[in-house]
Amino acid sequence: MCGIVAYSGPKDASKILLEGLVALEYRGYDSAGLVTTHSGIFKAVGPVAELKKKVPESVGGSTGIAHTRWATHGVPSELNAHPHEDCGKTIALVHNGIIENYQELKSALQKAGHTFSSETDTEVIAHLYESYKTAGKTPKDAFLATLRELEGTYGIALIDRAHPDVVLVACMGSPIVIGIGDGEHFIASDPSAIVRHTKKVLYLNDGEVAIVTPRECQVMTLGAKKISRAPETIEWEVEEAKKGGHAHFMLKEIMEGPEVLRTSARGRLRPEEGDVKLGGLLSITHELKRIKRITIVGCGSAYYAGLVGKYMLEEYAGIATDIDVGSEFRYRGLPLEEGAAVLAVSQSGETADTLASIREAKRRGLLTLGIVNVVGSTIARETDAGVYNHAGPEIGVASTKAFLSQLEVLALLTIFLGRQRHLSDTEAKRIAKELASIPEKVEKILKNVEPIKRAAERLKGATNALYIGRKYNMPIALEGALKLKEVSYVHAEGYGAGEMKHGPIAMIEPSFPTVAIAPRDSVYAKMISNIEEIKARKGPVIAVATEGDTEIAKKADEVIHIPETHEMLTPILSVVPLQLLAYYVGVAKGYNVDRPRNLAKSVTVE
Ligand code: F6R
């Protein structure tokens, strides 16, 4: 989710690169860097403004590359910021994505005498290219040979000082767009960095490479087979381009769900073996085997994700799990138990109450773990070990894609801890295979938004709404209600459906809608009874149900279907329509859903 910008043409490259970086900053902002074929590398931690302070007025060089980083491997620091160089410092490159086999490649390169100066996966690309160049290959052949050794995802722009007007570009699972100007080319990870210069663009497909000079852009396959494709014209203006053509970041981030789920599981999930590899927990494998109780802490949506995690860990990993919001946990007189661990769930990794809870747990000598999105954030640094989400920066204040990724990482953790205990091979494979197919199922939901829009029409006039669910979907009822409150200011409450009769049913009347999350799972029949009870009191019902469930359509006023999956994974599907529902209601009411009133993205005060 980092940002790449590169240039080859007659102008001062550094100016174009800095402008491009500012436009890309929404993709990541923990550090930035740039280099031209005639300059040394400039790097700075923090926003692009910090980099600008370091880059002199006249840098020289009309070919260059630049990057704004959202850390995945290695904390945000100047050393880890891109561009990265080879040992001879003759080439430099910027990279988006994750090189999964970087450890193997790095060890082999180190044995061959290469010295690494960063902790990143990216740097292996520079040294591999160098080794092929030293062996006598041309830049094109060295680049192609390098790419053929990489496993994982990449968008790459590389400059070689021996060929000062060339940028070598590659794309595999991380987008690259080439802007075609008059005697100049612009390269970027998304059009927002280049639309101010040109609207004529060529998108690289996965497995494609481009050799770009001011006058030429040769596209080819990894096997050096030429590809010719006519450029397209983009209609977006700068602001729209940042949102990928969507009206809001919230919608863009919901739509990124499938990609985020793939990234969060990449290199970790092994469906065929029914197992999971979590590099961030490797150092504490033995301590994890001794865990008898986990206490999850989080705030807001992260707490609700943790609540789903409690059900997962108890049912499939066999570990007693309790959960608390950070603002309560930190004041609880937690009894010290042998074998207890505290797991913080936090997108930002900076939420004050969650952080204070981790500090309190450490003070009491407990093992602390984190599921965190922002690499190098305080919670990531202060926990003993953890798993990163790799969901990329979330700009919309209301959490959407990060929530999805939190659920997925909790499922991965459940398989991992379950396999250390009594989770059977068959069950683990069943869950792992379903998890591997979850991104496609989310895609399917996102392709059919009409029922969700119809449901939003029903909700937009309401002043109150109730969300109900059971077992794995009880927390999703809470999350759905929170989303609606946040972005549409409709008062909504989430309840475990079994609690209806203990109070909330008193509210039901024709103007009070209920959203019932009722996939075909082990509590389906009980959810149907709850829906009947609401209908008997003339309450409108919007149901989220499994595809092919025709029964529920006879009872509910509106049905939103989700594909079938393993019960434990249903929240990953059921929450998606609820995020969209809140979005459509908020937009219909004319609110700025990306910046709801009174809210901040990162709550760093108590
Ligand atoms: C809701 C939302 C918040 C956050 C909460 C925790 O849409 O975004 O409830 O989930 O403030 O934030 P993190 O995950 O950064 O600790």
How close is the Cα of 161 to the center of ligand 1, in Å?
45
- Pair 189, 249 in one domain: no
Verify that 255 and 390 share a domain, yes or no: yes
- Which residue ranges in the chain fall short of pLDDT 50? none
**Which residues carry out catalysis?**
2, 601
88 within domain boundaries = yes
For residues 320 and 294, what is the distance between their CA atoms, to the nearest angstrom? Answer: 6
Q: Give 398 Cα–ligand 1 centroid separation in angstroms.
A: 7
Give the separation between CA 69 and CA 4, rounded to whole angstroms.
9
- Residue 149 lies inside a defined structural domain of this protein: yes
Q: Which 3 state secondary structure label does DSSP give 391?
A: coil
Domain final residue, candidates 179, 210, 234 = 234
**202 and 145 in a common domain:** yes
Q: Tell me, using a 6 A CB cutoff, whether residue 391 lines ligand 1.
A: no
The CA distance from 87 to 273, in Å, is: 39
Q: What is the DSSP letter of 173?
A: B
The C-alpha atoms of residue 365 and residue 269 are separated, in whole angstroms, by 31
- Look at residues 442, 465, 488 and tell me which one is the last residue of a structural domain: 442
Whether residue 496 lies inside any domain: the answer is yes
User: What SS3 class is residue 212?
Assistant: strand
Residues 604 and 474 in one domain: yes
Q: Are residues 549 and 454 in the same domain?
A: yes
Residue 301 CB–ligand 1 contact under 6 Å: yes
Residue 175 lies in a domain: yes
Domain boundary among 234, 269, 301: 234
Q: Identify the bridge partners of residue 514 per DSSP, sorted by sequence position.
A: 466, 541
CA–CA dist 143, 119 (Å, integer): 22
- Same domain, residue pair 404 and 538: no
Q: In a mutational test of the pocket of ligand 1, which residue from 296, 299, 579 has the highest number of ligand atoms less than 8 Å from its CB? A: 299
CB atoms within 10 A of CB 498: 16
Same domain, 86 and 195: yes
Domains: count for the chain: 3
pLDDT at 192: 81
- The rounded distance, in Å, linking the Cα atoms of 305 and 295 is 13
Residues 113 and 21 in one domain: yes
Q: Are the CB atoms for 281 and 385 separated by under 8 Å?
A: yes
Residue nearest atom 6 in ligand 1 by C-alpha distance? 299
pLDDT in the model for residue 27: 67
- The whole-number pLDDT of residue 394 equals 87
- Testing ligand 1's pocket by substitution, the residue of 399, 581, 603 carrying the most ligand atoms inside 8 A of its CB is 399
The structure's pTM equals 0.80
Residue 378 lies in a domain: yes
Tally of CA atoms within 13 A in the half-sphere of 496 that contains its CB: 10
Position 73 scores a pLDDT of 67
Tell whether 189 and 81 lie within a shared domain. yes
Assess whether the C-beta atom of 389 lies below 6 angstroms from ligand 1.
Answer: no
| Whether 145 and 28 share a structural domain | yes
Q: Which atom of ligand 1 approaches the CA of 379 most closely?
A: 16
Which tokens in the block code for residue 91? 């080439």
**500, 514 contact by CB (below 8 A):** no
* Burial label, 200 (beta-carbon count in 10 A; 0-12, 13-18, 19+): middle
Domain that holds residue 467: 448-606
The DSSP 8-state label assigned to residue 344 in this structure reads E
**Do 438 and 456 belong together in one domain?**
no
Distances (CA, A) of 128 to 107, 160, 167, 174: 12, 13, 17, 20
Q: Say how far apart CA 242 and CA 258 lie, in whole Å.
A: 19
Q: Whose CA is nearest to atom 7 of ligand 1?
A: 398
Residue with tokens 């074929």: 37
